[in-house]
């Protein structure tokens, strides 16, 4: 990099370092707390992080209580992942209950 050049950091890759995170490509809700950078760090923290944390703590448990047998309605290999943009996710998530 030269002085004055811009830098775009791939934040989605920051939490996938296998030297820091065991099995980084697997979703593991039971994983102990660690020093991830999902909501930024220091003065560069996401303004919506408290809402996102509330969603995780309130909405998802409520959804799973309402639909305790909810499961993926297709093989995971059939899911189309959005990995070409800053916000990672799936195009659709078909479920059944």
Residue 62 phi/psi, 5° resolution? Answer: -65, -40
Name the more confident of 6 and 37. 6
Q: Do residue 50 and residue 86 come from a single domain?
A: no
pTM metric for this prediction: 0.51
**pLDDT for 66-79, tens place per residue?**
999 999 999 989 99
| Whether 4 and 27 share a structural domain | yes
Answer yes or no: do 48 and 92 share one domain: no
Residues 52 and 72 in one domain: no
Please state the domain count of the chain: 2
Residues 6 and 42 in one domain: yes
User: What is the average pLDDT across 45-71?
Assistant: 89
- Do 13 and 47 share a structural domain? yes
Return the percentage of the chain with pLDDT > 70, whole number. Answer: 93
If one counts every other C-beta atom within 10 angstroms of the C-beta of residue 54, the result is 10
Q: Which domain holds residue 6?
A: 1-57
Closest by CA position to 20, among listed 29, 9, 33, 30 = 33
Q: Which of 82, 71, 83 is nearest to 91 (CA)?
A: 82
What phi, psi does 40 have (nearest 5°)? 85, -170
Whether 91 maps to a domain, the answer reads yes
Residue 62 lies in a domain: no
């Amino acid at each position: 990099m030269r002085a004055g050049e811009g830098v775009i950091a791939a934040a989605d890759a920051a939490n996938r370092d296998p030297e820091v995170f065991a099995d980084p490509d697997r979703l593991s809700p039971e994983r102990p707390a660690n020093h991830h950078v999902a909501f930024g760090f220091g003065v560069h923290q996401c303004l919506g992080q408290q809402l996102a944390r509330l969603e995780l703590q309130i909405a998802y448990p409520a959804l799973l209580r309402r639909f305790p047998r909810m499961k993926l309605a297709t093989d995971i290999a059939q899911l189309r992942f959005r990995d070409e943009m800053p916000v990672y996710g799936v195009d659709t998530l078909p479920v059944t209950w």
